[in-house]
Structure 1
Amino acid sequence: MSSLVALPASADELRVLAAGAIAPIVRTVAADFERRSGIHVKVDNATGGVVDKRVRSGETVDVVVAPEGVLRGLGKDGYLNLTSERAIARVGIAVAVKQGAPSPAIATVAQFRKALLDAPSVAMIDPKAGGSSGIYLERLFEQLGIAAQMHAKEVLVPGGLVAEKLVDGSAVLALHQQSEILQVKGAKLVGPLPAAIQNYTVYVGAVDARSSSGAAGRAFLTLLGEEEARRAMVEHGLMPEAQ
């Protein structure tokens, strides 16, 4: 990665709050940032909805990385410094089954719909927890005319790695952001949602308007756009945004 900008000596810790799918990349960059700058980075992660609530509640953070809608809302209301905003990556929703299980056909919308109806149990993020994939899937089930059938078989997860429900036997099918699925040993990625109904979450970062470590926060966001971080994004199933 390129060298860091000069950082104030007072910045001895950087607190980063990251939403779901982007968290593994944030942690990877945090380790490199610590090594290069000598500044300890504390990374915490939650769903986008929880990130929004925590920042609005007055929690002390320096950098927020979250879905675009969440971050822009926080910026509009004065919680974030949008002049520091940086688009980082996007990720789509995918389907997974337990390793060794047959993969259902999901290439078309009709096939995907059938796979959902055929599955006795389907794990996904609880929309009420504020996870972007869960919120979208709830709307999608309505559009596909299968909301009632899906509500009867949903295994709702408040946060974390949905595909773990495949491994422990709680669900037969899992729907989650592709990068999250790839983190679960014992889960098999079937593939992304059909293009006609795919939904991408764009992750954006910005410095908290109340932070006293603005220079360090901006340097951290710069590192998230460097080539090494972008390669890590691809390896984790994310698509880097143009810088």
Structure 2
Amino acid sequence: MLRRIAVLLLASLGLACSVMAAEIRVLAPNAAKESVFEAISVFERATGHKVIVAWTGTEAVTKRVAEGEAVDVVVNAAQNIDRQSKDGKLAAGTRTDFARSSIGAAVPASAARVDVSTADALKAALLSARSVVVSSGTSGRHMVEVFSKLGVGEQLNAKTKQPPSGAQIADFLAAGEADLGFQQVSELLHAKGIHYLGPIPVDLQNYTIYSAALHASAANVDVAKALLEALRSPTVQVIVRTSGMEPI
């Protein structure tokens, strides 16, 4: 099966295996880890090139690029890609959207499942939780706004934890450090030690588009561009869906 996927990807990209395999570096967020990891795996087998990835949170990706870390490809939330393209840190015109993720909720595996399918149910779950944990990225910022919209912002201030960028909310829940947590669905769906409850209500939902772009100082431009194309290939888009994200 993997051989067949590699052949299909190679054909879709119009690539030929290079005699001299190149090595490219990627900086990417944990929220897109499963789909990007699989895309890279298929890409490497199809082309013979090597991809080295540093995984962290969306805000940490942005900070590292801003501070001058040089890589070939940067994967991040689309708004961060746009901002750093305007700043000249990323190559203008190379933004490649490949997935969209919604925000989900979870509880520890040892806890009873709670209903978060409506605004009223979510509000009740928040008020009954002894502690709540949200990310410090785009999903966490949005959830703080949701708390205010539901009229429980003040009640949640004292019992809401917001760990540094890159932290996995599932880890806090599994360790019993919070009763209810929120993060991108792709980071919760397959996590161990938790019960994934589902996405937050549509009327409160926020979608993050994940994109990739060339770094302004990319050393292997042609190979990096091929990886961007791989992220949009039909084969990889199937993998994106199984990770809990929506293909774009």
TM-score by structure 2 length?
A: 0.89
Query: Which protein has the bigger strand share?
Result: 1
User: What is the alpha-carbon distance in structure 1 between the residues aligned to residue 19 and residue 90 of structure 2?
Assistant: 23
Please say which of residues 28-37 and 206-215 is displaced more in the overlay: 28-37
2: CA distance between counterparts of 1:234 and 1:207? Answer: 24
Code of the aligned partner of 1:174: G
* Secondary structure, counterpart of 1:2 in structure 2: helix
Partner of 1:160: 167
Show the counterpart of 1:134.
Answer: 140
Deviates more, 1:13-22 or 1:152-161: 152-161
Check conservation: 2:170, 2:192, Cα contact below 8 A: no
Q: How does 1:35-46 map to 2 (within 5 A)?
A: 35-46=45-56
Aligned position for 1:72: 82
Q: 1:7 to 1:218 in 2, by over 3 A?
A: farther
1:107 aligns with 2:117: yes
CA–CA distance in 2 between the matches of 1:8 and 1:39?
8
Q: 2:172 is matched by which residue type in structure 1?
A: K
| Cα distance change, pair 11–49 in 1 and its aligned pair in 2 (3 A) | farther
Q: Is residue 31 of structure 1 aligned with residue 41 of structure 2?
A: yes
Residue in 1 that maps onto 2:193:
186
Is residue 129 of structure 2 the alignment partner of residue 122 of structure 1? Answer: no
Instruction: Report the secondary structure of 1:36's partner residue.
Output: helix
Post-superposition shift, 1:102? Answer: 2.1
Could you tell me which residue of structure 2 aligns to residue 240 of structure 1? 247
Q: Distance in 1 between matches of 2:110 and 2:177?
A: 16
**CA shift at 1:143, angstroms?**
2.2
How far has the Cα of 1:63 moved from its partner?
0.4
Greater Cα offset, 110-119 or 34-43: 34-43
Question: CA deviation digits over 1:77-135, x for unaligned, max 9?
Answer: 1121232221110111111112253221222111111111111111211x3xxx11111
SS of equivalent to 1:106: coil
Could you tell me how far apart the structure 2 residues matched to 1:9 and 1:218 are? 18
Quote the offset at 1:199 in angstroms: 0.5
Give me the whole-angstrom Cα distance separating, in 1, the residues matched to 2:161 and 2:96: 34
The question of 1:48 aligning with 2:55 is answered no
Instruction: Using the TM superposition, give the Cα deviation of residue 155 of structure 1 relative to its aligned residue in structure 2, in angstroms.
Output: 2.7
CA distance in 1 between partners of 2:145 and 2:207 (Å): 14
Given candidates 223, 227, 231, the residue that maps to 1:220 is: 227
Counterpart residue identity of residue 148, structure 1: E
> Any gaps of 5 or more consecutive residues in structure 1?
none
Tell me the TM-score normalised to structure 1 length: 0.91
How far apart, CA to CA, are the structure 2 residues paired with 1:48 and 1:167?
22
Shift of 1:137: 1.2
Q: Which runs of 5+ in 2 are unaligned?
A: 1-7
Runs of 4+ more than 4 Å apart: 6-11
In structure 1, the residue matched to 2:218 is: 211
Letter in 2 for 1:122: V
For the 8 Å contact 1:11–1:216, the answer to whether it is kept is: no
**1:169 shift after superposition:** 0.9
Q: Does the residue aligned with 1:81 lie in a helix, a strand or coil?
A: coil
- How far residue 216 of structure 1 moved from its aligned partner, in angstroms, is 0.7
The alpha-carbon deviation at position 238 of structure 1 amounts to 0.2
**1:7 & 1:78 partners in 2: Cα distance?**
32
